[in-house]
């Protein structure tokens, strides 16, 4: 019983990682969907300057958080759907 539970947990982790990578490949480059002003404000908040490196970091942080949010939402939706399907 414990081995079955461990295997299911491992499959769920692999599924989340796969969702995360697929989300990253589906999204376009962050410069196309992230507003420059928002990235600049985040850059100023984190590094207190607006250099190219800090702007790149700001775009990366926003992109990672967007990918993580989308992946979490998709994971929760699919897990709830699977649970409902298994009950039927």
Residue 78, pLDDT > 80, answer yes
Burial of 10 (0-12, 13-18, 19+ CB in 10 A): exposed
pLDDT (tens digit per residue) in 2-58: 899 999 999 999 999 999 999 999 999 999 999 999 999 999 998 888 888 999 999
Q: How many domains does the chain have?
A: 1
Tokens of 22: 């697929």
DSSP state of 48: S
Look at residue 69 in the predicted model and tell me its pLDDT: 97
* Strand stretches in the chain, DSSP E: none
Three-state SS for 43? Answer: helix
Tokens of 61: 């942080």
pLDDT (tens digit per residue) in 56-68: 999 999 999 999 9
Residue 76, pLDDT > 90, answer yes
DSSP state of 27: S
**Domain span at residue 75?**
2-87
Model pTM score: 0.85
């Amino acid at each position: 019983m414990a081995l079955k539970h461990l295997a299911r947990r491992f499959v769920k982790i692999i599924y989340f990682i796969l969702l995360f990578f697929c989300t990253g490949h589906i999204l376009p480059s962050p410069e196309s969907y992230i507003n420059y002003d928002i990235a600049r404000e985040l850059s100023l908040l984190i590094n207190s300057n607006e250099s190219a490196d800090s702007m790149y970091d700001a775009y990366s942080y926003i992109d990672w958080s967007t990918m993580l949010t989308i992946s979490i939402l998709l994971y929760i939706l699919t897990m709830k759907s699977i649970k409902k399907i298994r009950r039927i």
